[in-house]
Each structure stands twice: as structure tokens, then as C-alpha cells.
Chain A
Amino acid sequence: MEFKDRIYNLRTERKMTQEQLASAIHTSRSAVASWEQGKRRPTYEMMEALSDYFNVSIQYLNGKDDVTPALLSDEERKIIERYRGNSDDEQYYLDKKTQQYTEFLSKNPGHRVLFDASMKVSAKDVKKVAKMLGIFGDDNG
């Protein structure tokens, strides 16, 4: 599928007019029309805006990924991109708070801790282990 079809489908699936999409990503209706007609391509910045707005990857917009994004959560899409080696994100843990806790624990001078855990492991579970090892007290957040 080409970019022009992708953008048309994403817009119409959401029952949006070209005007509404243009306004959402701060561009003109004629720009959206020219993309959908295949006359012009958006700038990279505009591709990023479309990617953020529709919550799909730039690769998907370019027609290189046929997984229907509406069926995937943000987390599932990230897992697939990592599995395929397409992701620039080298961070293993999906949850921000888990990233912070595991980073703190790996550098904790008393006991440095590294895990073999699922990338979806919750911050709560990591914190539970830290308490078990006596690294976080009960009142340390």
C-alpha cells in the first residue's frame, strides 16, 4: 500500500474531513488533498506529526508494515517493532517507572541488581523485589 492510500484510509476510518485532519496537524487542506492524490509527499516533520496523531509508525505510513494499527495497543506495536529490529528505542522495559527503578537498582552502591524479567514487568513488582532485598524502605515511594 502506498502512502497516499494509507493516509486516505486513516483519515476516512476516523470519519474526518481533509479540513479536520489539516487543522489537527497544523497544515492546509490543500496539502492533505495533494498527499492523498499522490501529487506531493509531506516533509519529515509532517510525517512525524501524522505518526503521532494517528498513533502509527512512520514505516506504517510509508506502507511498509501491514499490521492494522487499530488492532494493536501502543505497547504491542513497540514489541513488534523491537522484535523486527525496526525500533530505535534501545530501552528494554516498556514502562517508564520500571525503567527508572531498574536503572536506580542497577547503580545502587549497596546491592547492584539486574533482572531477567519480561519487558512488561511492572514497577510495582520491581519495587517489591527491592524491598525484599532491603533496598527500599516502606516509606521510600
Chain B
Amino acid sequence: MDRVIVRKVSCLPGGIKGLTFTDEGDYIILIRDDLSREDAMRVYLHEMSHIQNYDFESPEEAGRIEARTHRNT
């Protein structure tokens, strides 16, 4: 279905600002609700870049994907 659904949540543990998970073809982006507007936007762009770069289909190691994404976002 390829929808992108964004939610602000309060349940993410300390070191995690946001995440994206796939769910039957959709992408669900969760962003901490206690971030500043700028930080939340940065997290959103980080997560969108995973989607746009097809990182969820990539065979590349997660740690390498994050190293690359953090350099570029």
C-alpha cells in the first residue's frame, strides 16, 4: 500500500528519538513527543530518507545504514 503514517508517541526509551517500521506495505514513523520542533523535523527527515533510499529492502547491515544516514541527514 506504501502509505507513510507519522505518529508522535511518548513510549520510546531514552536513547531512541524515532523509528520507522514496515507493516503490510505501509511505513509507520514514530517520533518522540518530547522533542523540539527542529529535532522532531530532523527525525522525520532521517526516517523519510530511509524510505526514499529503499533501506528497508537493502541487504546492507543496519549499523552501516545508520552510519550512512546520520552522515547525510
Which residues in window 19-59 of B have CB below 8 A to A?
19-23, 43, 46-47, 50, 55-56
Number of residue pairs A-B, CB distance < 8 angstroms: 86
Q: Could you say which residues of chain A place their CB within 8 Å of the CB of B15?
A: 117-118, 120-122, 125
Which size bracket describes the interface of B in this complex?
20 to 34
Contact (Cβ within 8 A) A116 B21: no
Interface centre among B19, B20, B23, B63 (most CB of A within 10 A): B63
Across the interface, B67 reaches (CB within 8 A) one of A91, A106, A118, namely A91
Question: Does A139 belong to the interface (CB within 8 Å)?
Answer: no
Choose the segment among A32-40, A46-54, A61-69, A128-136 that binds chain B (4+ C-beta atoms closer than 8 Å): A128-136
A-side contacts of B46, CB under 8 Å? 116
* Chain A contact residue count (CB 8 A cutoff): 30
**Contact across chains for A102 and B62 when beta carbons are under 8 A apart:** yes
B contact residues around A124 at 8 Å (CB)? 13
With A91-B61, A91-B63 already in contact, the answer to whether A125 and B14 are too (CB < 8 A) is yes
Instruction: Point out residues on A near B: beta carbons under 8 Å.
Output: 82, 90-93, 99, 102-103, 105-107, 111-122, 124-126, 128-129, 132-133
Residues of chain B having any CB pair with chain A under 8 Å: 11-23, 43, 46-47, 50, 55-56, 61-67, 70
